[in-house]
Structure 1
């Protein structure tokens, strides 16, 4: 019996081990298989990015931490593609609104192009009223620039000691004019040289009284464009008093590209329009074509003269002119939509779709001609029938930057890093529009931000927290002012970032939030046109876990907010915002 029990126990143990192996060993294989499949799924998962900030990469959809815009799918493919080619997923193309068109042919014969410019003062009609004798300004009869004056109107009164002496000489000579007529005539001529009229001289002589303060009268009619003196000023002969501009004739100054030079010549008539008077067309005559090209803008100044006797055109007003142009090419004229072109200053780029059935795009540099009816004439770089991106061009370019391909601002195909110059250029390429009130309020927020930066330099957690709370309130006020949608998105995100920073009580967390806050402040600051002073964009390559981080400063000298006194001078200036 004992032997039988031992056998039964042995059999039970063997069966138990076998069953355990089958159960747990199989499950282990299944678990291992599941774990492998899960990692494969993550590795092949879709990444999400911001179309305006392509350096942002997240494994799931959401909002951009910089501007708050919805993220879009980013394609990580590109194997087997050339360095100037980019491949996007169909989903990404739909979400980004990418549309393509075929390179078409325009109409032969006459067409027209539009050039933009501004109304300016006709400098040929400028007149500077000068002093004809030494003296002191006793009073001014004109109060502000823009005031209208007429010829003969009193502008000022001047006390002139030399003129007082000359009057006394006149009174003495008038008593001797019978015996010494030449002396009398010489004294009168002396007063005439000081621009006293015959009537004024006769009045002094008949009254027998010496005038201490002499009036100065306008020589021309027009508008006061500049007052150059103040009451009490001492002046010399020839000193300018006021500048008077006759606005009966004004200039329209246009910027024409060098390939448009042949379209303009002196004496040519132009039809000029302005948004202020949409139903009015003004006729202008080209009076000057600049002989020297502007090397920076590659444009040429074309000046046309406009009749403005009705006073409708004001200096500084934007105008457009249409110029008829006849095609000089034989056969078809290739054209592409204006929205298809990316400008980099010296280059003009488009994205070509080599295969209409594939979502692969190729960046190509083209040479363009005149802009006619919303389309550019293509001189070289494209052929009729090719497909190009007409809408969503900037998004395609952003995807190229993500994949390390050649792009608008990355000619060598290197990956763009946060905080570097390429990133700054990316920010400046965006366009936001703010009202004057919003810009002024942003100036208050900028001052708070700069104080917050100094608090981080001093490693003052409490001051940083207090300033962040103050800044969040100002940002909330700005978000209620007038601006475009992109501006609202960035300002709204700015308020959230400052509110979040205000909750952090430790320096490490505050400095971590300061990274994205600074990126947003830099991009908004680049859009402001009324900054009170120059700003320096500074970069520390070691901050943000060695990814690099930026910040704004009023001083060129480096004071690092991410490390404080531990590494106070670590960093460099990467951009200047004027």
Structure 2
């Protein structure tokens, strides 16, 4: 009996201790709220994180608005959260940059001259060509110049021609003079000889000797070379027949093939310095006289005709001249040509931003300057470009989805780059410093539809836009107008 009572007492005491422990634990839990709320708070924090988009880590370019299975790999899409740390661009450690041989250069302004070099071939100046003809029928009794391209000087005898048709009018004139007829009849006979193109010197010789003269000499009207020889000794000639064609050498033409891109900078009257290709010590002064209005379909070049001084007679047709065309010098924003990645439809450069990361930048290029290229939009003076190894950085950027927004295959629902917002609207006004746009709501900034001004990084940017154009544009915070345009494209239609 006593044993049974003792066991019952132990059971009651155990129950009391168990209840007390439960109450104590509950009280302790209630007394420390941080412990009680630890797990739910963690879950709430995870639930409140804003998801920017979902992507496949193995194919990071495409972005999706909803979770699900990747269409590329056998795996689920991974979310990318707004609060995840990270800077724009691709971060490459200094050691890796050195190992990859990455080199950089600075965008700068330079005084660029529009002068350029071209190679021209020497030709005769067609304006100095003279034809030597006979105005009477006859025969070539003696030919003084017997081969083409012989040099002649002004007044030099070229050929002796016998003209029997000139004997009759001369004999008639001499007979009238001897007969002592009226002076007006003699004068009329003399005028008839002039009308038959009998040289005045030949008429005087007939008057002195008293006999008719039918032999006369053809002389060179000016110095040059015989470019064309159209007669041989003993040959019969007819009135109007060209016996010689003499080309002057005081000035010559240098005809150069100029590419279309450079031909637009040519202006008549531009001075040129011509250097002999075979001997650089011999230089000549020249001037642009004509740009022939015809483009070669095979080479896409125009012919430019330069007049070159050749008083010394050292230049001959067929020689090659290196033409140094002078042009005005202007200040332009230039970048190394090797830093530009050309895809055929656009030009991209890899820029190192202020945080040391690398990011792609789409460019609008101007004139090709050889080792450098003019940049019209997309870069600012002082920015640093990658000139070697940019393709490795571009590949890394694609792995981190930085270039995803620039890919033409990216879906329209893809998110914009950090700090860049997109909207659509109508251009109301275009100024050198910016554009006034009436745009729709911008949910990311909680903006309603309104009309406001956006600055431009370069006054020459967006030159193709005009008031009334419907556009889709990207913009960011910054610039003298607080908000600055990054890109703009027409969507069709006007207001």
TM-score bracket relative to the smaller structure: 0.3 to 0.5
Higher fraction of helix:
1
| Largest Rg, 1 or 2 | 2
